[in-house]
Amino acid sequence: MTTPPPTTERRWEIDRALDDLADGETAWAACDRATRRALLLRVHAATAGHAEAWVRAAVAYKRLPDGSPLVGEEWITGPYPVLTSCGALAASLQALEENRSPVDGFTFGEAPGGRVAVRVLPHSVWDQLLLNGFSAEVWMPPGVTRQQVRDGAGLAQLRPAETNGVGVVLGAGNITSIPILDVLYELYANNRVVALKLNPVTDGLLDVFGEVLAPLVDLGAVRILTGGADVGAYLVRHPKVSHVHMTGSAATHDAIVFGPGAEGRARKAAGTPLLGKPVTSELGGVSPTIVLPGDWSEADLRYQAEHVATQKLHNGGYNCVAGQVLVVSSDWAQKDRFLAHVRAALADAPARPAYYPGSDDRVADALASYGGDAERVGGGRVLIRNVDPADPGPALTTEYFGPVLAVVELPGDARTFLDAAVRTANDRLTGTLGANLIAHPRTISTLGSALDEAIAGLRYGTIALNAWTGVGYLTATAGWGAFPGHTLDDVQSGIGVVHNALLLDGPERTVVRGPFRPAPRALLHGQPVMSPRPPWFVSNGTAATTGRLLADFAAAPRWTALPRIFASALRG
């Protein structure tokens, strides 16, 4: 069914916005790097000044209970990453102003397959203190040299006066920092002025976003629009728009690129897009969590079960990178005990409303598809057992975008299981956005280089070992997006990359590593890790306080703020 056009009044509004942006492109082209850096710092200050209102608006549309620790999610995935990204982008521009590369001062290493790795976390002393035990690398494609990385870092800011027209950003409705970060990436990485169309779910953030982006709106480089599919369709097909970037599902992507319904499917099959302009995207998929067998303590089993529950239930499960398939070894002696802990962690996680449209229907579909193997746990959550890895059923091929977790069992010891799990993740699961691995330190040591080769073999844009891939999202200097190589007619988890505040040219993936155990228990096992249970864990009782303090710190990093952050984090 074709989407009806917007009203005449709405068309005039869109036309005026695009006319403004055509003038704004000239103003943006006239801004040198120092001016653009000053604009970033003003956006940073506006974000800090309106962070409280931002979080209140997010809590309202997600209907989170007053005083719930879950409010911490809105601090950590709303204002916080925008603050850190503004700072990191500003540092990259300053480096270019001073005839340096944005990667100067970052450590380079080697990754399997002849890849150059740029260590982006930890970088500052603040990283070492606040994220002790966590690290992240950006891997470049095989064959790219260190000198090529240095020379290419900066992207469009290497030639700031060469602008690239008007871009449309179709904003996400789940994580509230996504629309702002996508706008900044379009402006700074691609030199395009931006029409941001909000997802209707987030219309309550219109005023806050207007304040946060006011420096860029006043320049004429950004306009913010609201509306439904009619506005979006008119906007992306407008002749004054040169590029579209979207966050959402592959189905929505295909409707935009090829058109809806049977006609759209026919165009997709024929490879003839309806939308004759470039489209980049960050889409979802079926994200795996691969748990390697080992000899774990009861505390390890319980903690990592909370980790798995977090990967699934953070933001209610409405994350493009939410864990959906838990892959375990059928030969692991502790498998049943671990799965019992996972079930308990799902059931015990704080209750929250199903705020995202269609969630209840998707949960019902999961229950209907898997019958007696699907169980309701903790209200609206679903745990599916005995999923056949060879069966192309919905658990492996359809992103549920909700609180549904499926379990796949594969045979073997750590090495043979890992090989089979990598093949399953690559060949059976839809999407390539993120994959998680969990392994005991002794298992990591035993596997040695085989584990690094397995990480290299996983075709995912972000891979996390003993961490959640969401840490990659929160790392401003890391790239975020699908594994490279998708096409419009087989888009999987999308095309292109965002965030990437070092402005690296063509990163392949981000690899995140974290501690297997939190402090202080890690210290008792001889591991020098100071990070307690992370504030993004759904089981963290002080997440709201810690999240607020972290956002406040990102607004103004200072030594005096650290004691309160540490105290709140330890209580969590």
User: Which tens digits make up the pLDDT trace of 347-383?
Assistant: 999 999 999 999 999 999 999 999 999 999 987 899 9
Using CA atoms, how far apart are residues 222 and 179, in angstroms rounded to an integer? 12
Q: How far is CA 109 from the centre of its chain?
A: 24
Residue 236: is its pLDDT beyond 80? Answer: yes
Q: How high does pLDDT run on average in the chain?
A: 96
Residue 548 lies in a domain: no
- Count up the domains in the chain and report the number: 2
pLDDT at position 264 is 87
Q: How far is CA 300 from the centre of its chain?
A: 26
Residue 94 lies in a domain: yes
Using CA atoms, how far apart are residues 412 and 328, in angstroms rounded to an integer? 10
Residues β-bridged to residue 225: 197
Query: 29 in helix, strand or coil?
Result: helix
Same domain, residue pair 173 and 306: no
User: Which tens digits make up the pLDDT trace of 309-355?
Assistant: 999 999 999 999 999 999 999 999 999 999 999 999 999 999 999 99
Boundary residue ending a domain (230, 248, 266): 248
Q: How is 136-178 classified by DSSP, letter by letter? A: EEEEPPTT--HHHHHHHTTGGGGSTT----EEEEE--SSSTTH
Amino acid code (one letter) for 73: E
Q: Enumerate the H helices of 284-371 as residue ranges.
A: 298-313, 335-348, 359-370
Using CA atoms, how far apart are residues 108 and 92, in angstroms rounded to an integer? 17
Query: 37 in helix, strand or coil?
Result: helix
Q: How far is CA 297 from the centre of its chain?
A: 31
Contact 504, 92 (CB under 8 A): no
pLDDT at position 89 is 98
Mean pLDDT of 402-430: 98
Residue 259 lies in a domain: no
pLDDT at position 366 is 95
User: Which tens digits make up the pLDDT trace of 99-132?
Assistant: 999 999 999 999 999 999 999 999 999 999 999 9
Structure token pair of residue 411: 């045979």
pLDDT at position 378 is 84
Using CA atoms, how far apart are residues 514 and 427, in angstroms rounded to an integer? 26
Same domain, residue pair 336 and 480: yes
pLDDT at position 1 is 55
Residue 1 lies in a domain: no
The set of residues, in sequence order, having a beta carbon less than 8 Å from that of 17 and lying 6+ positions away, is 195, 223, 225
Same domain, residue pair 300 and 363: yes
Q: What's the order of all strands across the beta sheet hosting 323-329?
A: 107-111, 115-121, 135-139, 509-513, 462-465, 434-438, 287-291, 323-329, 404-410, 381-387, 374-377
Boundary residue ending a domain (188, 217, 248): 248
Residue 274 lies in a domain: no
Structure token pair of residue 139: 């891997």
User: Which tens digits make up the pLDDT trace of 29-85?
Assistant: 999 999 999 999 999 999 999 999 999 999 999 999 988 999 999 999 999 999 999
Mean pLDDT of 503-507: 98
Mean pLDDT of 429-453: 97
Contact 248, 283 (CB under 8 A): yes
Angle (CA) 305-341-411 rounded to 5° is 80
Neighbours of 340 (CB within 10 A): 12
Contacts of residues 119-124 at CB distance under 8 Å and 24 or more positions apart, as own/partner, are 120/475, 120/477, 120/478, 120/502, 120/510, 121/475, 121/477, 121/478, 121/512, 123/477
pLDDT at position 168 is 98
pLDDT at position 527 is 82
The set of residues, in sequence order, having a beta carbon less than 8 Å from that of 549 and lying 6+ positions away, is 561, 564, 565, 568
Question: What is the span of the domain harbouring residue 20?
Answer: 8-102+157-248
pLDDT at position 394 is 96
pLDDT at position 452 is 97
Domain of residue 295, CATH code: 3.40.309.10
Same domain, residue pair 339 and 234: no
Same domain, residue pair 430 and 320: yes
Using CA atoms, how far apart are residues 65 and 74, in angstroms rounded to an integer? 13
Residues in the chain: 572
Using CA atoms, how far apart are residues 294 and 297, in angstroms rounded to an integer? 10
Using CA atoms, how far apart are residues 56 and 71, in angstroms rounded to an integer? 9
Residue 144: is its pLDDT beyond 60? Answer: yes
Using CA atoms, how far apart are residues 537 and 552, in angstroms rounded to an integer? 20
Number of H helices, E strands in the chain: 24, 19
User: Confidence band (pLDDT; 50, 70, 90) for 192?
Assistant: very high
Q: Among candidates 465, 458, 473, 462, which has minimal Cα distance to 428? A: 458
Boundary residue ending a domain (225, 248, 271): 248
Same domain, residue pair 243 and 299: no
Q: Among candidates 550, 530, 547, 529, which has minimal Cα distance to 538? A: 547
CA distances from 127 to 74, 124, 130, 522, 532 (A): 21, 5, 5, 19, 14
Same domain, residue pair 244 and 296: no
Using CA atoms, how far apart are residues 119 and 155, in angstroms rounded to an integer? 19
Residue 402 lies in a domain: yes
- Of 140-144, 256-260, 431-435, 528-532, the least confident: 528-532
Residue 347 lies in a domain: yes
By percentage, how much of the chain surpasses pLDDT 90? Answer: 91
Same domain, residue pair 327 and 446: yes
Same domain, residue pair 335 and 400: yes
Same domain, residue pair 349 and 238: no
Using CA atoms, how far apart are residues 478 and 503, in angstroms rounded to an integer? 9
Q: Among candidates 170, 30, 77, which has minimal Cα distance to 471? A: 77
Same domain, residue pair 227 and 342: no
Q: How is 355-413 classified by DSSP, letter by letter? A: -STTHHHHHHHHHHHHGGGEEEETTTEEEEEEE-TTS--HHHHS---SSEEEEEEE-SS
Where residue 529 falls (left for φ over 0; alpha for ψ -120 to 50; beta otherwise) is beta
Residue 76 lies in a domain: yes
- Of 185-194, 263-272, 323-332, 466-475, the least confident: 263-272
Neighbours of 262 (CB within 10 A): 9
* Cis peptide upstream of residue 520 (ω within 30 degrees of 0): yes
DSSP state of 540: -
Amino acid code (one letter) for 460: Y
User: Confidence band (pLDDT; 50, 70, 90) for 524?
Assistant: confident
Q: Residue 385 — φ and ψ, nearest 5°?
A: -105, 165
DSSP state of 490: B
CA distances from 262 to 1, 100, 228, 265 (A): 9, 52, 22, 5
Same domain, residue pair 360 and 428: yes
Domain of residue 89, CATH code: 3.40.605.10
Amino acid code (one letter) for 287: S
Distance separating the N- and C-terminal Cα atoms of the chain:
50
**Is the CA virtual torsion 298, 303, 306, 308 positive or negative?**
negative
Query: 513 in helix, strand or coil?
Result: strand
